[in-house]
Protein backbone atom coordinates (compact mmCIF):
# COMPACT_ATOMS: atom_id res chain seq x y z
CA UNK A 1 0.00 0.00 0.00
CA UNK A 2 1.28 3.45 -0.88
CA UNK A 3 2.18 5.87 1.91
CA UNK A 4 -0.66 8.32 1.20
CA UNK A 5 -3.21 5.92 -0.27
CA UNK A 6 -6.75 7.40 -0.16
CA UNK A 7 -5.51 10.71 1.30
CA UNK A 8 -6.49 14.14 -0.02
CA UNK A 9 -3.90 16.93 0.05
CA UNK A 10 -3.83 20.65 -0.70
CA UNK A 11 -0.42 22.05 -1.62
CA UNK A 12 -0.15 25.81 -2.13
CA UNK A 13 2.47 27.27 -4.43
CA UNK A 14 2.71 23.92 -6.19
CA UNK A 15 3.19 25.30 -9.68
CA UNK A 16 6.97 25.19 -9.25
CA UNK A 17 9.84 24.48 -6.87
CA UNK A 18 9.30 22.73 -3.54
CA UNK A 19 5.51 22.75 -3.88
CA UNK A 20 5.64 21.11 -7.29
CA UNK A 21 8.08 18.45 -6.09
CA UNK A 22 5.82 17.72 -3.12
CA UNK A 23 2.74 17.51 -5.34
CA UNK A 24 4.44 15.02 -7.67
CA UNK A 25 5.67 12.89 -4.76
CA UNK A 26 2.33 12.95 -2.95
CA UNK A 27 0.54 11.78 -6.09
CA UNK A 28 3.14 9.07 -6.62
CA UNK A 29 2.41 7.88 -3.08
CA UNK A 30 -1.33 7.64 -3.74
CA UNK A 31 -2.76 11.00 -2.66
CA UNK A 32 -5.37 12.97 -4.54
CA UNK A 33 -3.61 16.31 -4.90
CA UNK A 34 -5.15 19.75 -5.11
CA UNK A 35 -2.56 21.85 -6.88
CA UNK A 36 -2.86 25.51 -5.91
CA UNK A 37 -0.92 28.42 -7.35
CA UNK A 38 -1.43 32.02 -8.43
CA UNK A 39 0.25 31.16 -11.74
CA UNK A 40 -2.42 29.40 -13.78
CA UNK A 41 -0.10 27.95 -16.42
CA UNK A 42 2.37 26.51 -13.92
CA UNK A 43 -0.41 25.10 -11.77
CA UNK A 44 -2.15 23.44 -14.69
CA UNK A 45 1.18 22.05 -15.91
CA UNK A 46 1.80 20.42 -12.52
CA UNK A 47 -1.69 18.89 -12.42
CA UNK A 48 -1.33 17.58 -15.96
CA UNK A 49 2.09 16.12 -15.18
CA UNK A 50 0.55 14.22 -12.27
CA UNK A 51 -2.31 12.92 -14.39
CA UNK A 52 0.07 11.88 -17.17
CA UNK A 53 1.59 9.45 -14.64
CA UNK A 54 -1.85 8.10 -13.67
CA UNK A 55 -2.06 10.21 -10.53
CA UNK A 56 -5.10 12.14 -9.29
CA UNK A 57 -4.96 15.93 -9.33
CA UNK A 58 -6.96 19.07 -9.93
CA UNK A 59 -5.73 22.65 -10.20
CA UNK A 60 -7.40 25.54 -8.38
CA UNK A 61 -6.04 29.02 -8.96
CA UNK A 62 -5.60 30.71 -5.61
CA UNK A 63 -3.87 33.74 -4.13
CA UNK A 64 -2.66 32.69 -0.68
CA UNK A 65 -2.64 36.30 0.52
CA UNK A 66 -6.44 36.48 0.19
CA UNK A 67 -8.59 34.89 2.90
CA UNK A 68 -11.47 34.26 0.50
CA UNK A 69 -9.20 32.38 -1.90
CA UNK A 70 -8.09 30.11 0.95
CA UNK A 71 -11.69 29.51 1.95
CA UNK A 72 -12.66 28.69 -1.63
CA UNK A 73 -9.67 26.38 -2.01
CA UNK A 74 -10.81 24.25 0.93
CA UNK A 75 -14.47 24.34 -0.13
CA UNK A 76 -13.63 23.19 -3.66
CA UNK A 77 -11.40 20.43 -2.28
CA UNK A 78 -14.22 19.11 -0.10
CA UNK A 79 -16.68 19.37 -2.97
CA UNK A 80 -14.40 17.43 -5.33
CA UNK A 81 -12.83 14.82 -3.04
CA UNK A 82 -15.09 14.80 0.04
CA UNK A 83 -12.41 15.36 2.67
CA UNK A 84 -9.08 17.00 3.50
CA UNK A 85 -6.31 14.97 5.15
CA UNK A 86 -3.12 16.93 4.48
CA UNK A 87 -2.32 20.57 3.77
CA UNK A 88 1.04 22.03 2.81
CA UNK A 89 1.20 25.81 3.17
CA UNK A 90 4.14 26.43 0.89
CA UNK A 91 3.38 29.53 -1.20
CA UNK A 92 5.85 32.34 -0.59
CA UNK A 93 7.98 35.10 -2.08
CA UNK A 94 11.41 36.52 -1.31
CA UNK A 95 10.45 40.17 -1.53
CA UNK A 96 12.70 43.20 -2.01
CA UNK A 97 16.10 43.55 -0.35
CA UNK A 98 17.13 46.49 1.77
CA UNK A 99 18.08 47.60 5.28
CA UNK A 100 15.25 47.84 7.78
CA UNK A 101 15.55 51.62 8.06
CA UNK A 102 14.99 52.01 4.33
CA UNK A 103 12.78 49.01 3.56
CA UNK A 104 9.85 49.78 1.22
CA UNK A 105 6.53 49.80 3.06
CA UNK A 106 4.66 48.18 0.17
CA UNK A 107 7.33 45.46 -0.03
CA UNK A 108 6.94 44.74 3.69
CA UNK A 109 3.16 44.47 3.36
CA UNK A 110 3.30 42.13 0.37
CA UNK A 111 5.79 39.75 1.99
CA UNK A 112 3.82 39.61 5.25
CA UNK A 113 0.53 39.16 3.37
CA UNK A 114 1.80 36.16 1.39
CA UNK A 115 4.38 34.53 3.67
CA UNK A 116 2.67 34.93 7.04
CA UNK A 117 -0.97 35.92 6.66
CA UNK A 118 -1.26 33.39 3.84
CA UNK A 119 -0.28 30.59 6.23
CA UNK A 120 -2.76 31.83 8.84
CA UNK A 121 -5.55 31.96 6.25
CA UNK A 122 -4.67 28.44 5.19
CA UNK A 123 -4.84 27.16 8.77
CA UNK A 124 -8.04 29.12 9.40
CA UNK A 125 -9.96 27.08 6.81
CA UNK A 126 -7.96 23.83 6.68
CA UNK A 127 -8.32 23.07 10.39
CA UNK A 128 -12.15 23.09 10.49
CA UNK A 129 -12.19 20.83 7.42
CA UNK A 130 -9.93 18.32 9.22
CA UNK A 131 -11.79 18.25 12.55
CA UNK A 132 -14.09 15.32 11.64
CA UNK A 133 -11.24 12.80 11.31
CA UNK A 134 -7.94 14.58 11.91
CA UNK A 135 -5.10 15.39 9.57
CA UNK A 136 -1.62 16.81 9.12
CA UNK A 137 -0.56 20.34 8.18
CA UNK A 138 2.96 21.28 7.13
CA UNK A 139 3.91 24.95 7.03
CA UNK A 140 6.97 25.77 4.94
CA UNK A 141 9.05 28.27 6.89
CA UNK A 142 12.80 28.64 6.25
CA UNK A 143 16.17 28.54 7.95
CA UNK A 144 15.38 32.25 8.33
CA UNK A 145 12.56 31.23 10.65
CA UNK A 146 15.31 30.53 13.18
CA UNK A 147 18.14 32.83 12.10
CA UNK A 148 18.47 36.37 10.84
CA UNK A 149 20.13 37.72 7.72
CA UNK A 150 20.83 41.25 6.56
CA UNK A 151 18.51 43.11 4.18
CA UNK A 152 15.48 40.78 4.39
CA UNK A 153 13.54 42.09 7.41
CA UNK A 154 10.10 41.23 6.04
CA UNK A 155 11.03 37.70 4.97
CA UNK A 156 12.80 36.92 8.24
CA UNK A 157 9.95 38.36 10.33
CA UNK A 158 7.35 36.41 8.33
CA UNK A 159 9.20 33.10 8.57
CA UNK A 160 9.80 33.52 12.32
CA UNK A 161 6.07 34.19 12.56
CA UNK A 162 5.24 30.98 10.69
CA UNK A 163 7.26 28.94 13.21
CA UNK A 164 5.48 30.55 16.16
CA UNK A 165 2.05 30.27 14.57
CA UNK A 166 2.70 26.59 13.89
CA UNK A 167 3.53 25.89 17.54
CA UNK A 168 0.43 27.70 18.78
CA UNK A 169 -1.95 25.93 16.40
CA UNK A 170 -0.30 22.58 17.12
CA UNK A 171 -0.97 22.95 20.84
CA UNK A 172 -4.57 23.96 20.24
CA UNK A 173 -5.40 20.92 18.09
CA UNK A 174 -3.07 18.21 19.38
CA UNK A 175 -5.94 16.46 21.19
CA UNK A 176 -8.13 16.66 18.09
CA UNK A 177 -5.90 14.46 15.92
CA UNK A 178 -4.61 17.35 13.83
CA UNK A 179 -0.81 17.53 13.70
CA UNK A 180 0.81 20.80 12.65
CA UNK A 181 4.53 21.16 11.95
CA UNK A 182 6.88 23.52 10.14
CA UNK A 183 10.02 22.94 8.12
CA UNK A 184 13.07 25.11 7.50
CA UNK A 185 14.59 24.65 4.06
CA UNK A 186 18.04 26.09 3.47
CA UNK A 187 18.83 27.62 0.10
CA UNK A 188 17.14 25.32 -2.39
CA UNK A 189 17.52 25.41 -6.17
CA UNK A 190 14.06 26.76 -6.95
CA UNK A 191 12.87 29.60 -9.21
CA UNK A 192 12.56 31.74 -6.05
CA UNK A 193 16.34 32.10 -5.97
CA UNK A 194 17.64 30.91 -9.36
CA UNK A 195 15.53 33.50 -11.20
CA UNK A 196 16.45 36.27 -8.80
CA UNK A 197 20.19 35.80 -8.29
CA UNK A 198 23.20 35.77 -10.62
CA UNK A 199 25.61 32.84 -10.88
CA UNK A 200 28.23 34.44 -8.63
CA UNK A 201 25.70 35.03 -5.86
CA UNK A 202 24.39 31.48 -6.15
CA UNK A 203 27.93 30.15 -5.79
CA UNK A 204 28.45 32.26 -2.67
CA UNK A 205 25.32 30.70 -1.14
CA UNK A 206 26.81 27.24 -1.57
CA UNK A 207 29.53 28.17 0.92
CA UNK A 208 26.93 28.80 3.62
CA UNK A 209 26.01 25.10 3.69
CA UNK A 210 28.54 22.70 5.29
CA UNK A 211 27.29 19.92 3.03
CA UNK A 212 28.85 21.86 0.11
CA UNK A 213 25.91 22.44 -2.21
CA UNK A 214 22.42 23.88 -2.48
CA UNK A 215 19.45 21.65 -1.77
CA UNK A 216 17.05 20.11 -4.29
CA UNK A 217 13.28 20.51 -4.14
CA UNK A 218 12.86 16.74 -4.13
CA UNK A 219 14.90 16.46 -0.93
CA UNK A 220 12.58 18.88 0.85
CA UNK A 221 9.55 17.04 -0.56
CA UNK A 222 10.69 13.84 1.14
CA UNK A 223 10.53 15.55 4.54
CA UNK A 224 7.11 16.98 3.75
CA UNK A 225 5.91 13.51 2.73
CA UNK A 226 7.05 12.04 6.04
CA UNK A 227 5.36 14.78 8.07
CA UNK A 228 2.17 14.38 6.06
CA UNK A 229 2.07 10.61 6.52
CA UNK A 230 1.11 8.44 9.47
CA UNK A 231 4.78 7.56 9.88
CA UNK A 232 5.17 10.82 11.83
CA UNK A 233 2.11 10.14 14.00
CA UNK A 234 3.77 11.31 17.26
CA UNK A 235 5.17 14.52 15.78
CA UNK A 236 3.44 17.88 16.21
CA UNK A 237 4.48 21.43 17.04
CA UNK A 238 7.97 20.77 15.70
CA UNK A 239 10.30 22.64 13.37
CA UNK A 240 12.51 20.56 11.07
CA UNK A 241 15.45 22.13 9.24
CA UNK A 242 16.39 20.63 5.88
CA UNK A 243 19.41 22.79 5.28
CA UNK A 244 22.66 20.93 4.65
CA UNK A 245 23.96 21.91 8.08
CA UNK A 246 23.31 25.67 7.79
CA UNK A 247 21.77 26.07 11.26
CA UNK A 248 24.32 23.80 12.95
CA UNK A 249 27.02 26.47 12.58
What does the alpha-carbon distance between residue 156 and residue 115 come to, in Å, rounded to a whole number?
10
| DSSP assignment of the chain | --TTTT-EEEEETTTSHHHHHHHHHHHHTT-EEEEEES-HHHHHHHHHHHHHTT-EEEEEE--TT-HHHHHHHHHHHHHHHS---EEEE----------GGG--HHHHHHHHIIIIIHHHHHHHHHHHHHTTT-EEEEEE--GGGTS--TT-HHHHHHHHHHHHHHHHHHHHHGGGTEEEEEEEE-SBSSHHHHTTS-HHHHHHHHTTSTTSS-B-HHHHHHHHHHHHSGGGTT--S-EEEESTTGGG-
Catalytic, out of 121, 125, 155, 239: 155
Q: Is 155 a catalytic residue?
A: yes
Q: Which residues are catalytic?
A: 155
Amino acid sequence: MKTLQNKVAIITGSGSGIGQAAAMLFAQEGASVVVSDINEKNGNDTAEAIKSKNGKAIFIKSDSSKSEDNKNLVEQTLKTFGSLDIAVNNAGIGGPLGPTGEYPIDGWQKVIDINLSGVFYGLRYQIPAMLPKGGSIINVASILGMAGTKFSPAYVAAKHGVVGLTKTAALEYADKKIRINSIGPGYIKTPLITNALDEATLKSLVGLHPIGRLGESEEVAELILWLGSDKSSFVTGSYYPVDGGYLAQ
